């Protein structure tokens, strides 16, 4: 009997090897980010103004802007926890699909899923800390399982593009708005959350890209078109949720500040915050060059729709 020696995969033969190595280098624990003496400072803003856009609302004073910023911080926690609730099953679906055919890919995707579970716990822990310290209740969209299930009704290609969009968006949420931002005195814990989340999301974005490239090789043009249609349906669904969140924030703001806004002030806050939400959660991902590059590889016929959507949500086309 002869034994064939199979060489272990290397990054030259299997891109998932690289991914696993990079993931191991940036891996962090929940305890490193929140808990013990790591507390939210409610005297500071939580989100950079590039994301929360409260500074341009002329009818609010400094304290009111800080409170609205913190409400945006809280909704950020809930919205990303919500996103992870559909990303996690989508990734596990890819694990089941692949089985043990490429065990390195399976290990990388399982690690990805494990990190998303950790992120859900991270966002929930921050949300608990927020609730304990903010002083009045804040409303958020839901029910989360129902929204996640509505997203997951779409084809895996559509869901995976929605995942990629959100993961590239987190790059804007840290690199473009928090890293090196000395102009704003932001809560260090919230900055740490954005940084640590981004570090792992950067690995996920690479894995999504590999999964999407594999899918593209297996699907015919009809299935690709269905995937693109589904992706834009998910974007519409997310837009609806974000628009609803703007109204909930206004109620939370009024409750927290006991400020009565007149009709013109409500319109000023609403229009500014609506644009801000759409840019932060959709435009920043849709316009990301790496997202557009992968979309162009997989769905070249649907690129004009992507450019139109990106411009609609405040990103470059």
Alpha carbons 242 and 274: distance in angstroms, whole number: 8
- What's the closest the beta carbon of residue 298 comes to Fe ion, in angstroms? 19
- What's the closest the beta carbon of residue 119 comes to Fe ion, in angstroms? 4
Q: State the binding string over 215-254 for Fe ion (x if CB under 5 A, else -).
A: ----------------------------------------
For Fe ion, the closer of residues 273 and 294 by Cβ is 294
Q: State the binding string over 9-48 for Fe ion (x if CB under 5 A, else -).
A: ----------------------------------------
- What's the closest the beta carbon of residue 204 comes to Fe ion, in angstroms? 3
Q: State the binding string over 160-179 for Fe ion (x if CB under 5 A, else -).
A: -------x------------
Binding-site size for Fe ion (CB under 5 A) equals 4
Residue selected from 173, 204, 288, 302 as contacting Fe ion according to rule CB under 5 A: 204
- What's the closest the beta carbon of residue 166 comes to Fe ion, in angstroms? 7
Does residue 60 contact residue 202 with C-beta atoms inside 8 Å?
no
Of the candidates 198, 15, 190, the one whose C-alpha atom is nearest the C-alpha of residue 102 is 15
3-state secondary structure 23-62: HHHHCCCHHHCCECCECCCCCCECCCHHHHCCCCCCCCCH
Alpha carbon 46 to its chain centroid, in Å, reads: 17
What would the DSSP string read from start to end of 249-292? HHHHHHHHH-----HHHHHHHHHHHHHHHHIIIIIHHHT-HHHH
For Fe ion, the closer of residues 49 and 201 by Cβ is 201
119 binds Fe ion (CB under 5 A): yes
For Fe ion, the closer of residues 76 and 134 by Cβ is 76
Of 44-52, 113-121, 232-240, 269-277, which part binds Fe ion (CB under 5 A)? 113-121
Residue 47's contacts (CB-CB under 8 Å, 6 or more residues apart) are: 69, 72, 73, 76, 186, 190
- Helix (H, G, I), strand (E, B), or coil: what is residue 230? helix
Does residue 55 contact residue 49 with C-beta atoms inside 8 Å?
yes
201 binds Fe ion (CB under 5 A): yes
Residues forming contacts to Fe ion in the complex (CB under 5 A) are 119, 167, 201, 204
């Amino acid at each position: 009997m002869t034994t064939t020696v199979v060489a272990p995969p290397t990054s030259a033969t299997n891109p998932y090897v690289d991914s696993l190595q990079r993931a191991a280098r940036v891996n962090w624990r929940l305890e490193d980010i929140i808990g013990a003496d790591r507390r939210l400072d409610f005297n500071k803003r939580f989100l950079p103004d590039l994301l929360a856009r409260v500074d341009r609302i002329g009818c609010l004073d400094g304290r009111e802007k800080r409170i609205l910023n913190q409400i945006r911080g809280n909704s950020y926690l809930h919205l990303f926890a919500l996103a992870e609730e559909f990303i996690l099953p989508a990734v596990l679906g890819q694990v089941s699909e692949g089985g043990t055919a490429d065990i390195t890919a399976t290990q990388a995707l399982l690690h990805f899923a494990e990190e998303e579970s950790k992120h859900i716990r991270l966002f929930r822990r921050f949300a608990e800390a927020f609730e304990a310290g903010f002083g009045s209740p804040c409303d958020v969209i839901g029910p989360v399982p129902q929204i996640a299930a509505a997203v997951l009704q779409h084809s895996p290609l559509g869901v995976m593009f929605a995942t990629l969009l959100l993961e590239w968006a987190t790059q804007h949420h840290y690199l473009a708005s928090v890293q090196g931002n000395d102009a704003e005195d932001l809560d260090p814990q919230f900055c740490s959350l954005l940084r640590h989340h981004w570090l792992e999301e950067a690995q996920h974005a690479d894995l999504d890209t590999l999964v999407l490239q594999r899918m593209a090789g297996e699907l015919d043009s009809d299935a690709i078109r269905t995937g693109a249609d589904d992706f834009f349906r998910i974007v519409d669904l997310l837009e609806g949720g974000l628009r609803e969140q703007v109204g909930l924030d206004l109620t939370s703001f009024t409750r927290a500040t006991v400020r009565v806004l007149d009709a013109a002030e409500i319109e000023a806050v609403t229009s500014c915050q609506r644009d801000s939400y759409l840019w932060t959660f959709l435009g920043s991902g849709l316009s990301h060059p790496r997202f557009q590059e992968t979309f162009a590889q997989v769905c070249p016929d649907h690129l004009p729709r992507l450019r139109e959507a990106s411009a609609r949500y405040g990103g470059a086309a």
